[in-house]
Copies of this chain bind each other. A is one copy, B any other.
Amino acid sequence: MDQTPENDLRIAHSHTTLRELVVEKMRQAIISGRFDGGDRLVERTLCDQLGVSRSVVREAIRYLEAEGLVETLARSGPVVAKLDWNGARQIYEIRRLLEAEAAAACARVADAAVKARLCDALAALESAFQDAAPHKLYAATTDFYQVIFTSARHNIAWEVVQRLNGRISRLRALTLATTNRRVSGPAHMARICAAICDNAPEAAAEAVRNHLVDAAEIARTLLESPP
């Protein structure tokens, strides 16, 4: 049932609901650290801050709850989920499994078009590293992996990874900002890209694993250092 009305005069209006906007706002607020782990999410306060009604806020909270960014305590209400090293460690391990598999699959099926898109993404990534713009870097990293996952046709794994990344996003932002990471990061990415362009699945998987071991190590030092 694909109806793509090219000659439709109507403006393609995105039809983003308020709810989606609020979900995105709140997700960003949690990611950016504006809402800290453990903070209570008081419905009516959020209504005021966001300028929307309770319905919208409550539904957005339910969505984020299912995503794992928010947890609702019985008889107390929703709070921002807290992240400890135990949780982060598990997430990095899951990412290691899924991303290594995706990179290997991508290396197996990558044709010229995929390689070109990947190299573009890598170039954007390196450019973002140069600019030292955190949000650009974040977006570029996401793009790079998205190319890998989608071209490997691992779109459900990509969903999983994105959701997990939401839960460690503060951490990712921190690791991306770390000097150490700023040096080793692009090198890892370049190796991953090279392995895929060589259609070398095992090398690609290994490069991904190395990257994530490093990232997890930086995350650990950040999390275990005094709050």
Contact = CB atoms under 8 A, between A and B. Distances in A.
A64 B90 CA distance: 24
Interface in A118-150: none
Interface in A8-42: 15, 19
A67 B68 contact: no
Chain A contact patch, size range: 20 to 34
A74 interface: yes
Nearest to A94: B157
Contacts of A62: 19, 59-60, 62-63, 66
A98 B101 contact: no
Interface string A69-110: 000001100000000001100110110011001000000000
A101 to B, nearest CB: 6
Nearest to A157: B94
B159 A68 contact: yes
Contacts of A58: 55, 59
Interface of A: 15, 19, 55, 58-60, 62-68, 74-75, 86-87, 90-91, 93-94, 97-98, 101, 153-157, 159-160, 164
